[in-house]
Structure 1
Amino acid sequence: MSPSTPKPRYSADPTHAWGILTPRFWHGMRLGTWLSLLATRQCRLTPRSMITAASITPVSGFNSIAAAWQNFRFGRQVHRQVLAEPPLFVLGHWRSGTTLLHELLITDPEHTYPNTYECMLPHCHLVTQKWLAPLTSWLLPSKRPMDNVEAGWDKPQEDEFALCNLGLPSPYLCWAFPHNGPVHSEYLDLREVPKRDRRRWQALLKLFVKSIAVSRNRRIILKSPPHTARVKWLLEIFPRAKFVHISRDPFKLFPSTIRLWKSLSDVQGLQPDLPEYDWMEGEVLQNLQVMYKAYQEDRELIPEGNLCEIRYEDLTANPHQEIQRMYEQLDLGNYDRVKPGVDRYIERTGDYQTNRYQIPPEIEAKVRDNWGIYFDMFGYGESGSDS
């Protein structure tokens, strides 16, 4: 499959596909955040997407009221919350196996994670999740459209979406109006973001993590690919944080990332009937360079014993061996308590098949020419296999 794979068609049935009635992440915004997004983007809506866009405005008004109620009920408690353990960040490029690694780590009963509901409604999950999640679970598909991984309100999710809905700029906001191209690229590594804005970003991430701890105060496992470029700033707010990085054959990463971004633009976007997104290929190529230039500089800042690097190929070939090595290297405790959960996860997902890709020679050449830093850092040869 090449990066030009046609985008999936919509279905009006929200229980089987990401139809027009299915909640987008932008449904989780407060009214001010949603109106600000509309005001700063070229809102070229199609008749199909107008239904979704029209539904977001009243929902965002409800979110604003619920957010005020959560702040009244839990605001002081969230600010004072002390984390039981420093968080563990799963790092890696999109489609490198971060989801697999995240789900394996949360089989540990001493770990927890932000779920999809909490990332969609980060400002009011403490006062709405118990009753609103069961009422709306039927609206979500059972599988993610890009890779058939299980979906649902209770499934682990990227905290980058929570940051979007908290009103922070993020490269992910391009998926709301994808025809307009990339936005907020400076927030990928935060290096060019003014100090005041970066402090606000750090403060809101810390408060979100604390809000999860109010519900479940165990080690929180966080997974968002952009965090790979933000290690320096993460360490400023969580100095004792632990990190695990996963790498994968770059010739698999590129087409899979293109597929992911197109799928997210289709299912999360408000411009589903507009032309293909010509900007994506260049943006994906550029983002990896920015991400791994930052990671190469920042990983030296991580205290000894707080970073483990693994390969997707090794993890899928020997999951117990790699996870046990990670537990020992990061001092996460006795692996014996984790092994039963890992066994159950492997048994449950044993029939999962990864997508297969055949990319043309000219695309291979672009990947090789632009992603040399990744080939060198993780020892992938010219063919993407071990050097």
Structure 2
Amino acid sequence: MTSLTTPSPAQNKPAKKPKMNDYPWYSPRFWHALRISDWCRLLARHGFRVHPFKLPMAAMITATTPFNSAAALLQHLWFGSYIERTRVEQPPVFIVGHWRSGTTLLHELLHLDSRFATPNTYQCMAPHHTFVTEWLIGKRMGWLVPKQRPMDNMAAGFQRPQEDEFALLALGAPTPYARMAFPNDVPADYSDVLNLDEASPADVEKFRKAIVWFAKLITLQTRQKQLLLKSPPHTGRIGHLAQWFPGAKFIHIARSPFSLFPSTTRLWESLDDVQGLQVARHKHLREYVFDCFERMYRGYEKQRNEIPAGDLYELKYEDLVKDPVGQCEQIYERLQLGNFAPVRDKIAAYMQSQKDYQTNKHQMDAETEAEIRRRWAGYFSRFGYE
């Protein structure tokens, strides 16, 4: 078995805040994929409070929205009826778990199985016109995207596997990722959608339409392969996803809360600085991290009981990095995902190629550790981190 142990603290790179020049001005932001109507609604909802320093970025985004609207109309005219008629025959596989819990690593590993259809970054950023533009932009203009993500050392690019949550954002669905545009505004956008049990019926229906449509899109584009989707916010939606996609499989990955909290805080600091239309003050970020976690796991713990036996598998990040091949084989066996043999060597080779990857090192004060233990006590107990 191949093993990749977590680097010791002495090996870890310090968790430094990324600088704006680490993410070039010309690189695409999430908002570059919005259509005119969605862009205007986003600005209006926040009173057009764009910081003067961010006006050039806002101007560039505004300039791209007419293209998105026109290309979206073209895709609708050419392929709309085909997308609507597409049936998702094979139950999707959803990877869930809190941000920074290892969902990306697991996504990268299972993506090595060519039997799965995994949305790439371009498809998730431009779902409303990927059919008509990916051949030009997604496959020939990859230099626009930095080689690494702004919040960690993971590889990035238009053709890399990506979270479907970004596609839902581009489609105008209610998603908490919209808060990154105006990170200083309180309350944050659509936090209640982290647990669909607590969302309004109207938002639930908007969300359902968006994710079902996107699932049809990728199914059609990949000729009926089984979907492999990953999104941390889906953690508190699994019961609803199971209803919309009968037979769907779920893989939940857990990680020590003492790693989750500082790493998630850094994630939002990075994304708010890079994606925000305001100069982020991060004044309410600490409470936002706590609140999101609690919302997600209220939904997860209730809805997991609605998932049929054999359709949900839980593992720990620490076990995955210790024995990636063995853990992935367990996933295939428990969820009946087919023959594991064809992907075994691919996973081993990938992990060998990542042997020099270094995780970020975080430090916390005793007060923060105590608050994490108090507020997330159920997670400590539930997943064996006591």
- Superposed pair shares fold, TM > 0.5: yes
- Structure 1 consecutive aligned stretches of length 4 or more whose deviation exceeds 3 Å: none
Offset of residue 136 of structure 1: 2.8
Cα displacement (A) at 1:349 = 1.3
Contact persistence 1:20–1:51 (CA under 8 A): no
Matched, 1:8 2:18: yes
Determine if the alignment matches structure 1 residue 368 to structure 2 residue 373: yes
Give yes or no for contact 2:139–2:159 (8 Å, CA) kept in 1.
Answer: no
2:4 corresponds to which residue?
Answer: none
Number of the residue aligned with 1:384: none
Deviation at 1:157, TM superposition (A): 1.1
User: Could you tell me which residue of structure 2 aligns to residue 385 of structure 1?
Assistant: none
User: CA separation in 2, counterparts of 1:25 and 1:91?
Assistant: 21
Give 1:205's aligned residue: 211
The residue aligned with 2:350 is 345
253-262 vs 165-174, greater mean Cα deviation: 165-174
Could you list the per-position Cα deviations for residues 20-49 of structure 1 after superposition, in whole angstroms to 9, with x for gaps in the alignment?
221101100010000110101143333432
Give me the TM-score of the superposition, normalised by structure 1: 0.93
Amino acid corresponding to residue 114 of structure 1 in structure 2:
P
Aligned Cα RMSD in Å? 1.5
Paired position in structure 1 for 2:234 = 227
2-structure distance, mates of 1:261, 1:313: 23
**CA spacing shift, 1:45–1:7, aligned 2, 3 Å:** farther
* Residue of 93, 99, 104 corresponding to 1:94: 99
Q: 1:22, 1:262 → 2: CA distance?
A: 18
* Deviations, residues 189-245 of structure 1 (Å, cap 9, x unaligned): 122333233122101101101101111121111111110000121112102100000
Q: CA deviation at 1:156?
A: 1.1
TM superposition shift of 1:270: 1.8
Q: Name the SS for the 2:297 alignment partner.
A: helix
Specify the SS of the correspondent of 1:214: helix
Which whole-Å CA distance do the structure 2 matches of 1:239 and 1:379 have between them?
30
Displacement of 1:276? 2.3
Identity %, equivalent residues = 44
| 2:61 corresponding residue in structure 1 | 56
User: Secondary structure, in 3 states, of the residue corresponding to 2:198?
Assistant: coil
CA offsets per residue over residues 57-103 of structure 1, 9 Å max, x none? Answer: 12111101111111111111111112242110001000000000111
Confirm whether residue 326 of structure 1 aligns to residue 336 of structure 2: no
Higher relative CO (CA 8 A, sep ≥ 6), structure 1 or 2?
2
TM-score, normalised to structure 2, is: 0.93
Partner Cα distance (2:178, 2:309) in 1: 35
Q: Structure 2 matches for 1:178-217, cutoff 5 A?
A: 178-181=183-186, 182-216=188-222, 217=224
Deviation (angstroms), 1:283: 1.0
For residue 6 of structure 2, what is the aligned residue in structure 1? none
Structure 2: give runs of 5+ residues left out of the alignment: 1-8, 10-14
Match of 2:348, as an amino acid? D
One-letter amino acid of the counterpart of residue 108, structure 1: D
Consecutive unaligned residues of structure 1, counting only runs of 5 or more, are 12-16, 382-387
Alignment of 1:269 with 2:279, yes or no, is no
Tell me the SS of whatever aligns to 1:246.
Answer: strand
